[in-house]
């Protein structure tokens, strides 16, 4: 089982709609999660972080975390064409056997917002 799983998409939504991006994870010890946005040909950039169960809102973005279900999601309200990108989910870096921390990402979901 992969540590982080996302549907690769593409997820197509019309402009102005709500886009819902989902992520499941296998490590029950994960406490915090990050959502990154990656435009085509560019590097990932952090857009949201969430550290506790429930919802966290920032402008048009809402991150939702359910640790019991090992599920994290990102909602984008009033989707705009500029939101078209790949969205990557990542739990915080985890300690690994032998020492050190490892930061693992999901494969990402491609979002297309259509006019």
Among 44, 50, 62, 84, binds another protein (CB under 8 A): 44
Site string for another protein, 2-41 (x = CB under 8 A): ------x----------------------xx-x-------
Cβ 87 vs Cβ 106: under 8 Å: no
Closest distance of CB 19 from another protein, Å: 19
Cβ 10 vs Cβ 110: under 8 Å: yes
Among 45, 57, 78, 114, binds another protein (CB under 8 A): 45
Tell which residue, 29, 101, 16, has the closest CA to residue 67. 29
Cβ 37 vs Cβ 49: under 8 Å: no
Query: For residue 70, what is the enclosing H or E element?
Result: none
* Interface with another protein (CB under 8 A): 8, 31-32, 34, 42-46, 49, 88, 90, 92-96, 98-108
């Amino acid at each position: 089982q992969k540590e982080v799983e996302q549907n690769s998409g593409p997820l197509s939504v019309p402009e102005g709609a709500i886009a819902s991006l989902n992520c499941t994870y296998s490590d029950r010890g994960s406490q915090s999660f990050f959502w990154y946005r990656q435009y085509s040909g560019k590097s990932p950039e952090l857009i949201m972080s969430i550290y506790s169960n429930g919802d966290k809102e920032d402008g048009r973005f809402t991150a939702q975390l359910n640790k019991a279900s090992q599920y994290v999601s990102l909602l984008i309200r009033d989707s705009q064409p500029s939101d078209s990108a790949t969205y990557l989910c990542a739990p915080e870096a985890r300690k690994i056997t032998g020492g050190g921390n490892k930061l693992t990402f999901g494969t990402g979901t491609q979002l297309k917002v259509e006019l």
